[in-house]
Structure 1
Amino acid sequence: MPISDPGSNADARAPCGARGFTLIELMVVITVIGLASAIAVLMMPDTRGRLMDEAARFAVRTRAAHDAAIVEARPVSLWVTPGGYGFDQWRGGAWTPMDGALRVERWKPGTAATGAARERLTFDTTGLADRAMTVTLTREGMRTDVVVDADGTVRVAG
């Protein structure tokens, strides 16, 4: 049995092939890191929000305007442009902008309402609309319709 110098670890050395990582091990680690980062990016919410969420918010606010016309016994109108929408209330013989929850709102970046330059729909004191109206929201090739029926019902379609 060979004897080594005291403090020498010559016998404890590993064979040359067992040192470091193999190329396959490095490729597996890089693949796992790439998959984990891809999943993290896909799970991050869109800062602009989903188009359906924006359509649902618009529909809820429109329904609130319908309810305000009934509760306050004053006609309330909804106006829509490609850049945003708002609500007006009939006071003193003229339309005046509403504030609070029904203040003027701009569409989120990238969203537009297609149609006329400015459309107006009016809810009377019984909640009936003067006409039916469909607002089509578009963003990045996606499309959603918000339908306001003449009886005052509001729904998101599509």
Structure 2
Amino acid sequence: MRLRLSLNQNHRETGFTLVELMIVLVIMGLMASIVVLSFPDGSNDLEQDAQKFAARTAALRDNAILQSRPMAVQVTPSGYSFLERRKGTWSVIEDKPFRSTDWSDGVTAAVGDTGPMLISFESTGLPSDRAEVQLSYKEFARNIVIAPMGDVQLAGSGETP
């Protein structure tokens, strides 16, 4: 017995099925969202500046302990610099990684009306006071908190109210 398989030669498929169209639309939507999310909005610069500042401030605290010398970070709206206490006066440190640094374009620090903010660390690594530095870029803000025990932490990501 032979099994004969017959194919209808007259039947032709043209066009796309609804499922195929839906898959193409989903793929195009995902690609479009990736493109939109990859446009720089400045908040990435804000995040990088905040992380870099927090890491360098924590390194300064550790350096104050290692050298048994008071050290400080001075924050201005346009950037920050690191200081060390020598012979009764504050001197700017210009050695890596403690060189003076400007914030990225559009990023500013809120320092208040009193001028530059000075956050000092004793030779034990403890700060003189709890401090909080707020960086902002357009409607985005990021806070760096120096806790009473000397911990440097990032806080407050997202849009400002």
Q: Which residue of 1 aligns with 2:103?
A: 107
Query: Offset at 1:93?
Result: 2.2
Q: Which has the larger radius of gyration?
A: 1
Match of 2:73 among 72, 78, 99: 78
CA distance in 1, matches of 2:77, 2:86: 26
Query: Offset at 1:43?
Result: 2.6
After superposition, the C-alpha distances for 1:5-49 in whole angstroms (9 at most, x for unaligned) are xxxxxxxxxxxxxxxxxxxxxxxxxxx99x968844643556884
Q: Which residue of 2 aligns with 1:7?
A: none
2:60 counterpart of 1:62: no
Q: Secondary structure at the match of 1:102?
A: coil
Query: Offset at 1:98?
Result: 0.9
User: What are the within-5 Å matches in structure 2 for residues 118-133 of structure 1?
Assistant: 118-133=116-131
TM-score (norm 1): 0.71
Q: Secondary structure at the match of 1:55?
A: helix
Query: Offset at 1:156?
Result: 0.4
Query: Offset at 1:56?
Result: 1.0
Segments of 5+ residues of structure 1 without an aligned counterpart are: 1-31
Q: Which residue of 1 aligns with 2:20?
A: none
Query: Offset at 1:62?
Result: 0.4
Cα root mean square deviation, aligned: 2.4
Where does structure 1 differ by over 3 angstroms across 4 or more consecutive aligned residues?
35-42, 44-50
Q: Secondary structure at the match of 2:136?
A: strand
TM-score (norm 2): 0.69
CA distance in 1, matches of 2:46, 2:57: 16
CA distance in 2, matches of 1:114, 1:38: 33
User: What are the within-5 Å matches in structure 2 for residues 44-63 of structure 1?
Assistant: 49-63=44-58
Query: Offset at 1:54?
Result: 1.4
Tell me which amino acid in the other structure corresponds to 1:148: I
Give the total of aligned pairs: 127
CA distance in 1, matches of 2:43, 2:130: 29
Change (3 A) 1:133 1:47: closer
Q: Which residue of 2 aligns with 1:94?
A: 89
Task: Name the % identity.
Answer: 33
Match of 1:140 among 113, 138, 141: 138
